[in-house]
Every structure is written in C-alpha cells, then in structure tokens.
C-alpha cells in the first residue's frame, strides 16, 4: 500500500484501456465519451484512488481556482476583529459554492506586504480581495494591470472605478440622524471619522443630508473630527461639550468612538439618553455591552464578504465587468437614544 507513487492520468488510462484524453474527458464531465468507456474509466479511478493533480491542471489552464483575501493587521486589531471574522465567513461561504479555495494573507508590515505582492503576482491566485486599502495605495491598480482582478471592501472615494462592495454609509448615517430628529432632538452633534477616508466623508455627508431633508439647519459647530478610536471619541465629545453645551444628541461615526463619547458623558454627569442621545455605527459586539446598550447602524459585514467573493468569481469565471455594489444598512435601536 505504501511506497507507490500517486496514480496519474496515464495510470488510469492504462488500467481502463483507453487514452489519456478520454480519462480527462470523463474527469471533466465532457459528454463526448461513450457510456462504456466512461464506466471503465470511473472504475479505474475508483480502484486506483486517483485524484487529478490540480497543480498540473493549473499550469495548462492557467487557472488556480483560488483567490487571495488580504487583510492588513496593522489596523487596530481589537475593535476590528469581529469585523474581519464576519468578513472571512462571508467570503468563505460564497467561495465554497464555486469550489474556489481561499488564500488568507495577513499583512503586518512592509516586508510582509512585499511578500504578499510577490506571492499573489506569481500566479497562484486568480484574483484578489482587498480590505482597508488607503486612497493613495497603488496596489489595486498594479494588480489589475497585471491581469489580476481585484475587489475592494469599501470604496476609496466617490469616484472609485475599481470593483468594490461598500455599505451605504451616507444612507445609514442619515437614517441615524433622522431617527434622532424623530425623537425630537434638534442639536445633534457628530463625531466624524477621518475625512481622508470615504467612510468618514460619507457618514458626515449623511448627517448633513438628514438635516437638509428635515429642514433643520446643520450647525457646523456640532461637527468634530475623530479617528475611529475610543480615545478619539472621548476627546471629541469633550470638545463638543465645551463648544456646544446645549447639544442633545451625538451621532458617532463608529461604535468605538461612541463608546468613548459615552465615557466622557458619564464623566460629566450627562444622562444618556435623558440629556444626550448617542448613536454609533457598525453594530459590533461592543454595542450590545455598553451602558446603556448602544443604538447603532448595522453593517451587513458577512454579506459584504459574500458579495465581494461573488463579484470576483463573476469576473474570473465568467469574464464579467467590474462592479460597484452598495449594501443597505439598518438602524438598530437600543437604549442610548
């Protein structure tokens, strides 16, 4: 039993008394093969326990049936972990349907980034899924130029022309603010995300839009920049309270910043939601565990992953065109508003 080499297509052909090509046809499900021959080949395959060598196949077809998912590890890992986990689940689920393998690449530093580029570039994958790419990162362009289809998680600006899947940041933000307006809040501050990122800009735009629709003037004094961290949220909240002590609500562009805001409000003895209502964005696990539980805008992260994978396979397998998809978000009302 041991010692024998793996059977190849030739071994099978010999055993079944047919040519290589016929075996190949059977394996690949072609119907240009007689019932008789097919039966003999299948028997031989089973007897020999033959499994086609996908590397050899890949060499001639120049397809690997695997895609890379690249995740930068530098981004604050703690808050974002559940995000990545959900994303991976989604991607993996969609790929399983098309029998495509997932190559996961965590990129920690520049050297690992170079290594990732080398690996991806080396034709081991049919396409690439990229998470949190910065606006000025030349990588996606490079990849596409090398003939490697690429799909981004999150567009980089309003005019992104690569394939991407994003959640409806502006819409979600607007829904959050609309909800606050509905509850009678009129001085709604916002802790924005970094404005050099589309997420940051889009969520701020949503805040403006909702005010516009409702005919409530959007007071720019109520806008404070943040950096998506808890500490940043705390600082932003403090400076907002100084500038506009009369604010009665805050929309934070991320749950983590909302958590910081909650901490600062507690420190200054402002009741939530009594004095100030708070809404976050993302609906991470965090949101359920704050005091009080956080109203927030839910992103469909797992679906985002699924969609990314689906778009990529559409491109690699069926030669589809680039696609830009925006997924709806949903307001989850808890006790902070």
Partner DNA sequence: AAGCCCGGTGGGAACGTTCCCAAAACAGAT
Partner DNA sequence: ATCTGTTTTGGGAACGTTCCCACCGGGCTT
Build a one-symbol-per-residue string for 70-89: x at contacts with a second copy by CB under 8 A, - elsewhere.
---x-------xx-xx--xx
Stretch that binds a second copy, among 39-47, 106-114, 174-182, 189-197 (CB under 8 A): 106-114
Residue from 22, 79, 87, 92 in contact with a second copy (CB under 8 A): 92
Q: Is 64 in the site for DNA (CB under 7 A)?
A: no
Nearer CB in complex with DNA: 120/199: 120
Report the alpha-carbon distance of residue 272 to residue 26 in Å, rounded: 68
Stretch that binds a second copy, among 120-128, 178-186, 203-211, 221-229 (CB under 8 A): 120-128
Identify whether the C-beta of residue 265 lies closer than 8 Å to the C-beta of residue 278: yes
Q: Is 24 in the site for a second copy (CB under 8 A)?
A: no
The residues in 121-140 that bind a second copy, with binding defined as CB under 8 A, are 121-124
Nearer CB in complex with DNA: 121/229: 121
Q: Report the SS3 class of residue 134.
A: coil
Concatenated DSSP letters for 310-323?
A: HHHHHHHHH-PPP-
The structure tokens listed for 163 are: 């394939």
Q: Which of 305, 301, 311 is nearest to 150 (CA)?
A: 311
Choosing among DNA, a second copy, none, which partner's interface includes residue 145 (Cβ < 5 to 8 Å by kind)? a second copy
Q: Is 49 in the site for DNA (CB under 7 A)?
A: no
Stretch that binds DNA, among 27-35, 173-181, 217-225, 256-264 (CB under 7 A): 27-35
Report the alpha-carbon distance of residue 80 to residue 83 in Å, rounded: 5
Beta strand 223-225 with 277-282: parallel, antiparallel or unpaired? unpaired
Choosing among a second copy, DNA, none, which partner's interface includes residue 268 (Cβ < 5 to 8 Å by kind)? none
Q: What is the DSSP letter of 291?
A: S
Polymer length of the chain: 337
């Amino acid at each position: 039993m041991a010692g024998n080499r793996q059977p190849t297509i030739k071994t099978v052909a010999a055993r079944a008394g047919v040519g290589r090509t016929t075996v190949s046809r059977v394996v690949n499900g072609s119907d240009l093969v007689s019932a008789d021959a097919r039966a003999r080949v299948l028997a031989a395959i089973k007897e020999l326990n033959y499994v086609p060598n996908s590397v050899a196949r890949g060499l001639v077809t120049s397809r690997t049936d695997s895609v890379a998912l690249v995740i930068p590890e530098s981004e604050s890992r703690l808050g974002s972990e559940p995000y990545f986990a959900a994303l991976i689940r989604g991607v993996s689920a969609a790929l399983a349907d098309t029998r495509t393998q997932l190559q996961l690449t965590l990129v920690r530093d520049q050297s690992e980034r170079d290594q990732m580029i080398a690996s991806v570039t080396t034709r081991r994958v049919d396409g690439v899924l990229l998470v949190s790419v910065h606006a000025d990162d030349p990588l996606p362009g490079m990849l596409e130029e090398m003939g490697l289809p690429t799909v981004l998680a999150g567009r980089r600006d309003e005019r992104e022309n690569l394939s991407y899947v994003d959640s409806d940041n502006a819409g979600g933000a607007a829904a959050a603010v609309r909800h606050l307006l509905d509850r009678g809040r009129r001085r709604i501050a916002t802790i924005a995300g970094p404005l050099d990122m589309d997420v940051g800009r889009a969520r701020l735009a949503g805040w403006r839009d909702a005010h516009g629709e409702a005919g409530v003037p959007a007071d720019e004094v109520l806008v404070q920049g943040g950096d998506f961290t808890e500490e940043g949220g705390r600082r932003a909240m403090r400076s907002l309270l100084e500038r506009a002590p009369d604010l009665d609500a805050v929309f934070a562009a991320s749950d983590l910043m909302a958590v910081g805001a909650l901490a600062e409000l507690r420190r200054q003895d402002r009741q939530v939601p009594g004095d100030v209502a708070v809404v976050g964005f993302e609906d991470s696990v965090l949101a359920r565990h704050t005091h009080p539980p956080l109203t927030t805008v839910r992103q469909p992260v797992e679906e985002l992953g699924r969609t990314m994978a689906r778009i990529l396979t559409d491109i690699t397998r069926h030669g589809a065109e680039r696609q830009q998809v925006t997924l709806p978000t949903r307001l989850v009302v808890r006790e902070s508003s």
